[in-house]
Amino acid sequence: MADFYTILTDYGQQALADVLISGKQVVISHLGAGDGGGSSYEPTEDQTQLRNEIWRGDLNDLRSDEDETGNIVAEAVIPVEAAPAGGWYIREVGLYDQSGGLFAVGKYPLTFQPDLSLGSGKQIYIKIVVEVGNVDAVQLIIDHSLVLADKQYVEDLVNNKAAELEGLIGEKVTEIYDTYSATDGSQKVGFDSSTVYDELKSLARAYPFINQSKILIAAHRGMMYPYFETAQISYAICDADILEVDVQVTSDGVPVCYHDDDLSTKTTLTGAVSDFTFSQIREAKFLRLIGTKYENLVKIPTFEEFCREAMRRGKAISPEFKRYRTTADIKLMVDVVKKYHLEERCVWASFIFGDLRELRKYDKLSGAALQVDSYSAIYDEWFPELAYVLGRGYISGSLKFWNNENARIPTFKEMGLGLIVWTVDSAVDKLKVQQYGVNIIITNNALSGVN
């Protein structure tokens, strides 16, 4: 027998046998992990519990094993906060059905999870394989976004999508991007939008990235009420499809979430985010409050904390390049999104078109939204480039912009551009922009009933 393995318990074997009688699949819902009481041991079929369970949580994935017929693969993520003081060693794992019965038990390779008091914490990704014989007897998880995604699962998903994009558009996009863009990401002289139209219009139609059947709601700065805008607690509770946030960079290169140019408007500091180090920013607190209960208690979150929360909740994100030291900081922000594998659930936004060109040096999968408030002749060049060169493009227009320019919407859609509107808070305006056919509505409230 292998050194580390997982076996069905007596309870698990009986549960599978009962499927033949009842016809109802076994529902495995949780994974538990323990320290074995301080030492490793050989699991036995008569076990009804782990020797010393430390953590139990929802499964992230339960699927059939592509390499071995009759096996199932279970995955879960043990969060940082699960570690007891001083950390712990994982030696045993178990799978539980929805009634709490121990379906399978396993001997796990000795794995240490530190706690934050040791200076750093980390998530632990658990993956186990169980031989069940008849995979059809077990209800598999269809929604892989239920908890946290296993790193390899997400990497495979992203890589497969990237390969799909490459097959459809990749070579042509690269060719045209090299033709019309300078090495610094700026546009070369002689950009001819009609050429790009002709070469890529058919490909854009073949891969419509705006294909959702409903309008998505984006929470403007976390939808704020009743908490503080861009505060972590707002993003943890707001009811929206997409979390919208403004990102700035501190003087020592840490992306944080804050909207205004001057910190004094809403915090205990005075000056720009870029004037302070991260440690100084971390000492700042929001001044806005509910009554007096939360005054001076809520800190400015980092962009990493924001992305971690989005991943935990299975939310899409829409970060805006708000303020940074140099365009090189764009890579800092993009790297955070990549760390949490959110690229395909992300739409970056900026009023500066050069930011979106810079974005594409590091990220080909996220959406890229140009923010506009009134029409300019330069858009006749930028919008085609956004659609056919940068790709996955959106026009993020103010309500005023779309009210004035709604006659252009068929052209934008023909180009394959997605449509975003900000900021819509009234029922009347909501109804109006729905008729325009926008894809995303940015709002300060829940806008219930949007379909």
Q: In this predicted structure, which of 44-48, 114-118, 159-163 has the lowest mean pLDDT?
A: 159-163
Q: How many domains does the chain have?
A: 2
Task: Tell me what percent of the residues of the chain surpass a pLDDT of 70.
Answer: 76
Query: For residue 19, is pLDDT > 60?
Result: yes
Over the chain, what is the mean pLDDT?
80
| Tokens (6 digits) for 350 | 């900026």
142 and 244 both lie in a single domain: no
Residue 448 in domain: no
CATH number at residue 266: 3.20.20.190
Going by C-alpha positions, the residue among 151, 75, 145, 62 that lies closest to residue 341 is 151
Tell me the pLDDT band of 2, cut-offs 50, 70 and 90. low
Q: Do 224 and 342 fall into the same domain? A: yes
Predicted confidence at residue 287, as pLDDT, reads 73
Residue 273 lies in a domain: yes
By the 8 A CB rule, do 443 and 425 touch?
yes
237 and 330 co-located in one domain: yes
Domain endpoint, select from 99, 118, 148: 148
For 343, the token pair is 């690229």
Say how far apart CA 349 and CA 134 lie, in whole Å.
49
- Determine, yes or no, domain membership for 240: yes
pLDDT tens, position by position, 327-372: 899 999 999 999 988 888 899 999 999 999 999 999 988 999 999 9
Cβ proximity of 109 and 31 under 8 Å = no
Residue 170 lies in a domain: no
Of 148, 165, 186, the position where a domain reaches its end is 148
Q: Examine residue 226 and state whether it is found in any structural domain, yes or no.
A: yes
Domain shared by 377 and 289, yes or no: yes
Choosing from 132, 148, 164, the residue where a domain stops is: 148
Average of per-residue pLDDT across 157-181: 52
Say how many Å lie between the first and final Cα of the chain, rounded: 55
Same domain for 392 and 261: yes
Quote the domain boundaries for residue 297.
Answer: 216-443
Q: What percent of the chain has pLDDT over 90?
A: 37
**Residue 332 covered by a domain:** yes
Residue 394 and residue 417 in contact, taking contact as beta carbons nearer than 8 Å: yes
pLDDT digits (tens, 9 = 90+) for 241-300: 899 999 999 999 999 999 999 998 888 899 999 999 999 998 887 775 544 444 555 688
pLDDT one-digit tens code per residue, 97-142: 999 999 999 999 888 888 876 666 778 888 888 888 866 777 765 4
Average pLDDT estimate for 383-393: 87
Same domain, 302 and 417: yes
Distance CA 73, CA 339 (A): 24
Same domain, 79 and 224: no
Q: Is there a domain that residue 354 lies in? A: yes
Say if residue 254 is in the same domain as residue 135: no
Residues 268 and 382 in one domain: yes
Distance of CA 319 to the CA centre of its chain: 11
- From 295, 301, 266, select the one nearest 281 (Cα to Cα): 301
Residue 422 and residue 293 in one domain: yes
Residue 65 lies in a domain: yes
Q: Which residues pair with 130 in a beta bridge?
A: 72
Dihedrals phi, psi of 442, to nearest 5 degrees: -95, 130
